[in-house]
Amino acid sequence: MLSKGGGSTSIQKSRLGPVKDLRARALRVDKILTREYGRKETSRRRANPLDTLMLTILSQNTNDVNRDRAYRSLRAAFPHWEDVMVSDSRQVAGAIRVGGLANIKSKRIIDVLRFINGERGRLDLAFLKRMTPTEVDAWLSQMKGVGPKTRAIVMLFSLGMPAFPVDTHVHRVTKRIGLIGKRISRERAQQVLAVLVPESEFSNLHINLIEHGRAVCTARKPRCAICPIRSQCDYYHDVLVKGQT
């Protein structure tokens, strides 16, 4: 069981020490990346949670540009989510083709909308605001295709609830740094990072880790020579520095 107070031996203990040191390192990484990429503030006017859920489903296995293009195309073709819900999946797939995996995503979107409507009698997720984070996560997890990252994004950015979404960039960067274990899953990484990072920094660090993963800490060939957080990074010290000595 993870906790903010005493920590847990299940959290990765990397080169710089135990949990309290990992928390301190996470703060240093957050500070450096904020200086490098700017502070990311969440809007006081939060996005509609249903809109965020649909947008996040569209984001799976594609980039932000194509995700947004697919979303705009979908809303242009179907102005209301009720229109999507009663449409044929082939029509929906045609509208979101630019986002990739259109046949899979169209069925997933329709299924999710039908589930919500069947459970609540209407397409509205505002009721989630009255639940606890644990209850929200459990309710959203009932829907096929709504995984841990998607649930965390809805919770953090639309409901203002503590959740640390972990996508492929966040997973890769935090693993190289040493904040999480080398074999840890994305779902487990969300739990660990939610312990190591102050809640006030969840959205800021999440977004800046993604930017850093795209710009510097890339999958195939990380640009360690220009990395502003290399002093905090296990990969840099253990793989590159030691490899040269």
Exposure string for 19-29, b = 16+ CB within 10 A, e = fewer: beebbebbeeb
Task: Indicate whether 4 belongs to any domain.
Answer: no
Q: Which of 129, 158, 187 is the last residue of a domain?
A: 158
**Final residue of a structural domain among 158, 183, 200:** 158
User: Tens-of-pLDDT digits for all 245 residues of the chain?
Assistant: 344 544 333 444 444 457 789 999 999 999 999 999 999 987 666 889 999 999 999 999 999 999 999 999 999 999 999 999 999 999 999 999 999 999 999 999 999 999 999 999 999 999 999 999 999 999 999 999 999 999 999 999 999 999 999 999 999 999 999 999 999 999 999 999 999 999 999 999 999 999 999 999 999 999 999 999 999 999 999 877 766 65
Distance CA 184, CA 200 (A): 24
The pLDDT value recorded for residue 7 is 39
pLDDT in the model for residue 5: 42
* Tokens found for residue 72: 């705009």
Is 111 domain-assigned? yes
Q: What is the pLDDT of residue 177?
A: 97
Number of structural domains (the chain) is: 2
Q: State the Cα–Cα distance between residues 106 and 91, nearest whole angstrom.
A: 8
Choosing from 40, 105, 107, 149, the catalytic residue is 149
The last residue of one of the domains, among 134, 158, 182, is: 158
pLDDT at 133: 97
- pLDDT at residue number 43: 67
Give dist(CA 179, CA 199) in Å, integer: 16
Does 121 share its domain with 219? no
CATH of the domain at 215: 1.10.1670.10
| Whether residue 149 lies in the annotated active site | yes
**Residue 211 burial class via C-beta count within 10 angstroms: exposed 0-12, middle 13-18, buried 19 and up:** middle
Q: What is the pLDDT of residue 41?
A: 80
State residue 40's pLDDT score.
93
**Beta carbons within 10 angstroms of residue 133's beta carbon:** 17
- Residue 209 contacts residue 32 (beta carbons within 8 Å): no
Q: Which domain holds residue 119?
A: 49-158
Torsion of CA 23, 10, 155, 233, to 10 degrees: 40
∠ CA 178-180-185 to the nearest 5 degrees?
140
Rounded distance between C-alpha atoms, residue 188 and residue 170, angstroms: 13
| Helix ranges restricted to H, 144-217 | 148-153, 168-177, 186-196, 202-215
Domain at 100, CATH number: 1.10.340.30
Measured in whole angstroms, how far is the alpha carbon of residue 77 from the centre of its chain? 27
Q: Write down the pTM of the prediction.
A: 0.88
How far apart, in whole angstroms, are the C-alpha atoms of residue 136 and residue 128?
6
Q: Provide the token pair at 64.
A: 């932000």
